Amino acid sequence: MSKTQTSPLELPPLKRLLGGLTPRAFFRDYWQKKPLLVKNALPGVEKLISPERLRAFADHEDGESRLVQRRRGHWSLDFGPFSKADLADLPNKDWALLVQGVNLLDPGADRLLNHFNFVPYARLDDLMISLAPPGGGVGPHFDPYDVFLIQGIGRRRWEISTQKDQSLIPNAPLRILADFQPEQSWEVEPGDLLYLPPHCAHNGVALSECMTLSVGFRSPSDQEMTIQFLNHLIDSIDAPGHYNDPDLTSTRHPGQIPDAMLNNIAHRVARTLAHSDGDLKASISRYLSEPKPNIFFTPPARCPSLIAFMQKTARQGVRLHPGSRLLWHKKDLFINGEQIRPCPAEYPTLVALADHRSLAGDAITGTTMPRLHDWFCAGWLEYLS
Ligand code: SIN
Ligand code: CO
């Protein structure tokens, strides 16, 4: 990860970000309900990442970048990485370059995400940034998740619609609404923010060279969560009993499955599942803490001794690697897919690390050091610079 060339961004008070609303009022009146446009919510945000830097991220092996183009009414979609030469060949209109997970590549972008921590981290996905020349965009569509669209450089026109018809153009390489009927439109400038609830149809068209930052949220599907839990059950189920039928009587229809047998088996399976129920929330919590699939942690070249780590940590403090997910629920912590039950002496420090994602040296208690040392040596934690 590159740590250079980051422009510091003075983050505004939360009330400004939400257009004068308290987070409570925002959640009550807008979250998952209706769009909210806030003019000048994040002044200076256009200095965070330059177009050149975004183009360089699009060339990153572990980055996730896409290029959407519209030529003579036809949409195309290509997947990166894209070299400087690939991007230099593009026309001067009607394309959009999208780079996912910029928070993993740029510490300033990661800090910007922290500003949305009035939403639980378990809901947060990543920061995507798009770059487009005039006319560029990804077409009218809807997303199944909430998103904050923050305007970086340039101007863009957003059109939105609450239409029920969400049918898509058949066989298009990306999801474009077949019949978009805009109901409202805004021209946004650097620093403006547009919140959209899930399934709100939208179309953003660049009016000049333009960059848009999308803070996206996760909404795992019921299918995904259930499969995840069933996989956990397959690995963990412990049901040592066997079917038995001491009351069996003779039959004249040996080909028939006895009702009593099916009832008995259904009862036994239900009982086994009921006993595993306590694990459901832990299994889901571990899943929610799993890093994104493209994250690979690089352990330090030489793991420091515990003493050396303690000395440096006490001086500098630590922060989670931007790809690390540390969450907590009741007495348990979940980090990068693993579940931990910390001892009471460690608990407050680890919960503070989960909530703030960094800790100053003097906020770290000695009892937590061995665990933090392990996480540091796994590449999950870094020194604060
Ligand atoms: C974009 O930044 O061009 C697309 C963002 C979106 O519509 O979700
Ligand atoms: Co969208």
pLDDT(6) > 60: no
Nearest CA to ligand 1 atom 1: 130
For every residue of 98-163, DSSP letters joined together read EEE-GGGT-HHHHHHHHTTTTS-GGGEEEEEEEEE-TT----SB--SS-EEEEE-SS-EEEEEE--
Using CA atoms of 177, 178, 182, 185 in order, give the dihedral in degrees to the nearest 10: 50
Q: What is the pLDDT of residue 256?
A: 97
279 confidence band (pLDDT: 50, 70, 90): confident
Q: Provide residues with CB under 6 Å of ligand 1.
A: 96, 130, 137-138, 143, 147, 149, 202, 204, 212, 214
Q: How far is the CA of 142 from the centre of ligand 2 (A)?
A: 6
Nearest CA to ligand 1 atom 4: 138
Q: What is the pLDDT of residue 362?
A: 95
In whole numbers, what is the pLDDT of the chain averaged over residues? 93
Q: How far is the CA of 52 from the centre of ligand 1 (A)?
A: 19
User: Which of 128, 129, 158, 213, when mutated, tests ligand 1's pocket best, judged by the most ligand atoms within 8 Å of its CB?
Assistant: 128
Specify the amino acid at residue 359. Answer: L
CB 385 within 8 A of CB 316: yes
Residue 138 Cα: closest atom of ligand 1: 3
Q: How far is the CA of 288 from the centre of ligand 2 (A)?
A: 23
Q: What is the pLDDT of residue 61?
A: 83
Q: What is the pTM of this model?
A: 0.90
pLDDT(1) > 80: no
Identify the CA nearest to 195 among candidates 43, 16, 32, 42. Answer: 32
Residue-wise pLDDT tens digits, 15-31: 889 999 999 999 999 99
Tell me the C-alpha distance between 95 and 77, whole Å: 10
Nearest CA to ligand 1 atom 5: 214
Ligand minimally distant from the alpha carbon of residue 127 = 1
Alpha-carbon distances of 274 from 75, 231, 267, rounded to whole Å: 50, 16, 10
**Comparing 295 with 1, which gets the higher pLDDT?**
295
Ligand minimally distant from the alpha carbon of residue 144 = 2
Q: How far is the CA of 347 from the centre of ligand 2 (A)?
A: 39
Residue-wise pLDDT tens digits, 55-79: 999 999 877 999 999 999 899 999 9
**Comparing 235 with 373, which gets the higher pLDDT?**
373
Tell me the C-alpha distance between 223 and 231, whole Å: 12
Q: How far is the CA of 47 from the centre of ligand 2 (A)?
A: 23
Ligand minimally distant from the alpha carbon of residue 212 = 1
CB 186 within 8 A of CB 158: yes
Residue-wise pLDDT tens digits, 295-329: 999 999 999 999 999 999 999 999 999 999 999 99
pLDDT(375) > 70: yes
Residue 203 Cα: closest atom of ligand 1: 7
Q: What is the pLDDT of residue 10?
A: 72
Ligand minimally distant from the alpha carbon of residue 99 = 1
Specify the amino acid at residue 80. Answer: G
Contacts 24+ apart (CB under 8 A), 365-373: 366/310, 367/343, 368/342, 369/306, 369/309, 369/310, 369/313, 370/306, 371/340, 371/342, 371/346, 372/309, 372/313, 372/318, 373/304, 373/306, 373/309, 373/310
Q: How far is the CA of 308 from the centre of ligand 2 (A)?
A: 47
Ligand minimally distant from the alpha carbon of residue 131 = 1
Give kind and range of the element (H or E) at residue 225.
helix 222-236
Average pLDDT value for residue range 99-114 = 93
Residue-wise pLDDT tens digits, 210-220: 999 999 999 99
Tokens 């970000």, residue? 17
User: Which of 97, 130, 194, 217, when mutated, tests ligand 1's pocket best, judged by the most ligand atoms within 8 Å of its CB?
Assistant: 130
Instruction: Please state the φ and ψ torsions of residue 309, each to the nearest 5 degrees.
Output: -65, -45
Residue 132 Cα: closest atom of ligand 1: 3
Average pLDDT value for residue range 253-261 = 96
Q: What is the pLDDT of residue 345?
A: 96
Q: How far is the CA of 339 from the centre of ligand 2 (A)?
A: 34
Residue 216 Cα: closest atom of ligand 1: 8
Specify the amino acid at residue 103. Answer: N
